[in-house]
Amino acid sequence: MTGEIPTLILTVDLDCRLCSKKIKKTICKLQERERIHKIEYDEKKNTVTISGPFDPVKLKNKLCCKACEVIINIIVTPPPTPPTKPEPVYLPFPVGHPVIVPWRVMVQ
């Protein structure tokens, strides 16, 4: 990996006691095996945010297999794009000015 930490956002009905228990149990079982570092439960938005140095597609498939009946939606957030360097702007030499080219002469 290039240092970016992927993030999965699960939409789950956290108000439902059984759904909440199922998703917490499933994530806890996968936590060490899949190297999940951070889990956040937002009960107001009914989302679970998972982040860590894991393969997001692989974890998404495992979560779908183990807790598909309680997961409403899974969003894989793309890693942030690195800032691009602006290309240098080359200006042409002004007309009428001499161009001085340094020459290095090797004397033997």
- One digit per residue, the tens of pLDDT, for the chain of length 108 reads 456 788 999 999 999 999 999 999 999 999 989 899 999 999 999 999 999 989 999 999 999 999 889 999 999 987 667 788 888 777 666 666 666 666 666 555
Domain boundaries along the sequence of the chain: 13-39+52-77
What pLDDT was estimated at residue 58?
93
pLDDT in tens, 30-48: 998 989 999 999 999 999 9
Handedness of CA 8, 12, 15, 21 (dihedral sign): negative
User: CB-based contacts of 62: which residues, under 8 Å, 6+ apart?
Assistant: 30, 34
Whether the model pTM is above 0.75: no
Query: For residues 34 and 83, what is the distance between their CA atoms, to the nearest angstrom?
Result: 29
Give the number of C-alpha atoms closer than 13 A to the C-alpha of residue 52, restricted to the C-beta side.
Answer: 18
